[in-house]
Structure 1
Amino acid sequence: MRKLISGIALLIVAITCTFAQHSPIEDLLNTQDENLRHRLDRLEKMVDDLMWHERLGDIAHVDKVYMYGPPKWKEENPTGLGAGNPVKFWSYLFFPKNIDTNKKNPLMVLPHGGVHADFTTYYTHIVRELVSQGYIVVAAEYRGSTGYGKGHYKKIDYGGLEVEDVYASKNYMLENYHFIDKNRVGIMGWSHGGLITLFNIFEHAKDYAVAYAGVPVSDLVARMGYYEDDYRALYEVDYHM
């Protein structure tokens, strides 16, 4: 009887180990699924970009430009081609249609929320309110944002260089648009965007006249405790930490 029980136990262990191991086919399917998700994200992004003009075209000039932030914090091949180059990212620009370029105008920096999210027309009501009050708005698609492929997604640097990307977007606006008032620059964000807002005013307090952090992520340890495993898994991948 004991031999039978021992045999069953060994069989269960063997079956468990077999299913726990990823087969080459499973790994290939997971990679293809990941690639497909990024392709769909890019398609969704292109469609949503068109909607900005539909939803804000009556009061705002909408543009999207490349900007540059610091190099990646970790290079897979430090001596490879392009290693150490600045990170390139898109940013949305919104200008009031009735803007007076002969005077100085206020700027609002608006980082999007979410870990691996992006700036979409979900923010239309916020941008519309700001533009209607005369603000110019810049919204950076900082490293780690979705909608730009796997490469940009895996550049994520949570609470690190993504903060500097947003700061770089502010500097870009001041350097390229003479009608922005450097003394009237604000920053605002919600959730993860609130975290980026806080880090910006901690690191660059003199550069902002005002800041608002709505429900910012301020206790990541506590957050890990009440979120599901799939959220915690985002922080465990080799390209993140």
Structure 2
Amino acid sequence: MNKLFKSFFIGLFLMITSLTGQAQTDSTLLKEINSLKETVNDYRHRFDVLEKQIDDLMWFRRLEDIAHIDKVRLTSTPRWKPKDPDDRFAANKLQFYTYVFIPKEIDINKKYPLIVLPHSGIHANFSTYYAHIVRELIVQGYVVVSAEYRGSTGYGKATYENIDYGGRENDDVLESRNYMIENYSFVDASRVGVIGWSHGGMIALMQILQHGDKYQCAFAGVPVSDLENRLASHDESYSAYFTATHHVGETIDENPEEYARRSPTHYAKNLNKPLLIYTNTNDNDVYVEEVELMIETLKKHGKKFEYKIFQDASGGHGFDRIDSKEATDIRYNVHKFLERYLTPPKPFKSAAEMRVAAYGF
């Protein structure tokens, strides 16, 4: 009997030891998996940096015939909230890059209009996706500036996690505008426009609504306009951009005021400059209902502005940024809107002339 009990306890001990060892192995494996995930995530930012550097070469290649191109480093406001409360450098201004495009035929003794062109995307950057549009602007005699505002990709993890959607990213864009006026004598401070699509359209709205004294006009294409509407119509993956610990860190239900602060509809009553808004009924990203809410809010405040709701235009969200004839004809009308308020030295006389400027033929 003693031998039987002894064998039982020995077996029990070996089983417990085995299970404990297995638990330890599982725990170690879990730690290794989490470490690998973090490494992969860090490498993603490294790959983004490489992709950005390659695309920068393409910027010079694709516009070198008509523009002087530069990329400068500026500072803007600090993070809206410190990542670490004990960080003694939390009040330091953030650094960011800005693209500068100046027509080669410029006469430095004259004055030229400036276009501020923030890129689209929650986490994206000013890529050569916009090359044809920038060419259209340069040939007319516009100087162009585009900030790689906080949260942009291609500049590492820290810049990515500095995202401030609807917040101080707008400070970065405004600072790019101010830099051009302060440093280039041929830029006319009385002829500055801001244009953008999607998230860039949202920033264009924020610029004209929050800093109307700094701009003469704005164009907002398919603009993100109201976060309450947008979060209600998109899945949880979109909300995750905001609830991330490096960003807002709270849901819209937990802090609705913070989300309202980041929405252009919240500032509609401030409009005092010419504004053109475009939206598309088959937009599969910024749904037409969200832009219509912006339009109706402006009307509610008795604001004068222009808008057009396109019916199922080809291209969905990118309907007027692609390279089809339909898209470029629509862009031509955007240029004519800007022309009324910014008087570029060489405005287009036809959509065909615009296509030659952008595409060569």
TM-score > 0.5 by shorter chain? yes
Match of 1:206 among 184, 205, 213: 213
1:125: how far off?
A: 0.9
1:83: how far off?
A: 2.3
Contact 2:83 2:246 in 1 (8 A): no
Match of 1:118 among 111, 122, 125: 125
What is the 5 A alignment of 1:164-203? 164-203=171-210
Deviations 1:25-62 (A, max 9, x none): 23212211110100000000000000011111111111
Q: Distance in 1 between matches of 2:154 and 2:171?
A: 20
Q: Distance in 2 between matches of 1:26 and 1:234?
A: 23
Any stretches of 5+ residues in structure 1 without a counterpart?
1-18
Three-state SS of the structure 2 residue aligned to 1:160 is coil
Query: For residue 42 of structure 2, what is the aligned residue in structure 1?
Result: 35
Cα root mean square deviation, aligned: 1.5
Deviations 1:114-143 (A, max 9, x none): 101100000001100000000000000000
**Do structure 1's residue 239 and structure 2's residue 246 form an aligned pair?**
yes
Query: For residue 254 of structure 2, what is the aligned residue in structure 1?
Result: none
Q: Distance in 2 between matches of 1:179 and 1:146?
A: 31
Three-state SS of the structure 2 residue aligned to 1:72 is coil
Query: For residue 106 of structure 1, what is the aligned residue in structure 2?
Result: 113
Hey, which bits of structure 1, 4+ residues long, moved more than 4 A? Answer: none
Match of 1:65 among 64, 72, 96: 72
What is the 5 A alignment of 1:24-173? 24-173=31-180
Identity of aligned residues (%): 53
Q: Distance in 2 between matches of 1:226 and 1:84?
A: 36
1:213: how far off?
A: 0.6
1:24: how far off?
A: 1.8
Q: Distance in 2 between matches of 1:123 and 1:130?
A: 11
Larger radius of gyration: 2
1:235: how far off?
A: 1.4
Letter in 1 for 2:229: A
Q: Distance in 1 between matches of 2:111 and 2:123?
A: 34
Query: For residue 3 of structure 1, what is the aligned residue in structure 2?
Result: none
Three-state SS of the structure 2 residue aligned to 1:234 is helix
Any stretches of 5+ residues in structure 2 without a counterpart?
1-25, 249-361
Deviations 1:43-88 (A, max 9, x none): 0000000001111111111110001110111113345353211110
* Count of aligned pairs between the two proteins: 221
* Bigger relative contact order, structure 1 or 2 (CA pairs below 8 A, ≥6 apart): 1
1:221: how far off?
A: 2.2
Query: For residue 288 of structure 2, what is the aligned residue in structure 1?
Result: none
**Normalised TM-score (structure 1):** 0.88
